[in-house]
């Protein structure tokens, strides 16, 4: 991947809270119209280790493969090809339990207009403040929502459902935490439903058994979630290997999908995504 783009100011910084909330509400409202027109929102992922763009297989750090040493260049290519949204994961942070790669986040936010959700290692109020101040418009809470639900709910109350995303990553329908290194006894759909009752609107769900395997997404699982919880804005993640896989998610009425290894390995080409309205 390669490409250049002129530098732009970030859409918002954490110290401009009212503007950031208004921006995200506008963005979420626009999703409905976009969803009706394009059928599915396409969200490329940039996973970070040591400031580099990498991918793992099934969350195993020993399978790390570096795709680019400068994630900003990757982000610019996405933006040049019509992508509006980006999913950035601090894998160092997920393993260490604190935000680490925020300088990379800041560079991407400063030099693109991509709407960025950021996750990995967010465990404290200070971590969240750093993420928002570095240019994230949304943050994803995964392990924290399992281990410290009161703190996660305090973030939801403080920042609102347009900025706080629930990360519900599962292996065989059981929620996994700590960079997917540990599986809990919490069952996926009841877990999501419990947080929906407390105000969560956006959920990223990764089927860990399929992540990075390029063997197709867990369409039946995502369909089940949609049928059980139709008001959740569900973002599917893991397993996409072709444009046909995206079409299958569209047919299952899934609102959004994260694209990772399929893009980096050339299984899905950015030019082929035009059919989805980007």
Residues taking part in catalysis: 47, 169
* Nearest-angstrom CA–CA distance, 243 and 249: 10
**Which neighbouring-strand residues pair with 86?**
116
In three-state secondary structure terms, 59 is: coil
- Read off φ and ψ for residue 229, nearest 5 degrees: -130, 70
Q: How far is CA 106 from the centre of its chain?
A: 17
Q: Phi/psi class of residue 112: alpha, beta or left (left: φ > 0; alpha: ψ in -120 to 50)? A: beta
* Nearest-angstrom CA–CA distance, 71 and 79: 12
Q: How far is CA 98 from the centre of its chain?
A: 18
Name the nearest CA neighbour of 31 among 239, 235, 263, 192. Answer: 235
* Nearest-angstrom CA–CA distance, 23 and 20: 5
In sequence order, what are the residues at sequence separation of 6 or more whose Cβ sits closer than 8 angstroms to the Cβ of residue 155? 125, 128, 139, 141, 164
Cα dihedral across residues 227, 229, 231, 236: positive or negative: negative
CA-based R_g, the chain, Å: 17
């Amino acid at each position: 991947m390669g490409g250049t783009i002129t530098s732009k100011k970030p859409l918002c910084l954490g110290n401009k809270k009212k503007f950031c909330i208004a921006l995200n509400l506008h963005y979420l409202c626009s999703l409905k119209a976009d969803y009706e027109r394009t059928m599915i929102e396409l969200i490329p992922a940039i996973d970070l280790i040591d400031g580099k763009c990498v991918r793992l297989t099934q969350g195993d750090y020993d399978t790390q493969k570096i795709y680019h040493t400068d994630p900003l260049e990757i982000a610019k290519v996405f933006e040049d090809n019509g992508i509006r949204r980006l999913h950035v994961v601090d894998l160092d942070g997920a393993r260490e339990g604190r935000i680490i790669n925020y300088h990379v986040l800041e560079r991407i936010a400063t030099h693109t207009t991509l709407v960025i959700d950021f996750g990995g290692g967010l465990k404290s109020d200070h971590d969240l403040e750093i993420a928002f101040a570095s240019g994230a418009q949304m943050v994803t809470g995964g392990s924290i929502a399992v281990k410290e639900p009161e703190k996660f709910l305090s973030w939801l109350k403080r920042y609102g459902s347009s900025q706080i995303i629930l990360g519900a990553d599962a292996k065989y329908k059981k929620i996994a935490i700590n960079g997917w290194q540990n599986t809990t006894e919490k069952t996926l759909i009841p877990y999501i439903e419990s947080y929906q009752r407390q105000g969560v609107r956006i959920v990223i769900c990764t089927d860990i058994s399929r992540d990075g395997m390029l063997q197709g997404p867990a369409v039946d699982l995502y369909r089940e979630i949609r049928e059980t919880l139709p008001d959740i804005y569900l973002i599917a993640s893991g397993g996409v290997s072709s444009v046909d896989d995206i079409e299958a998610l569209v047919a299952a009425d899934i609102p959004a999908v994260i694209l990772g290894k399929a893009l980096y390995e050339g299984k899905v080409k950015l030019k082929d995504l035009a059919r989805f309205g980007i």
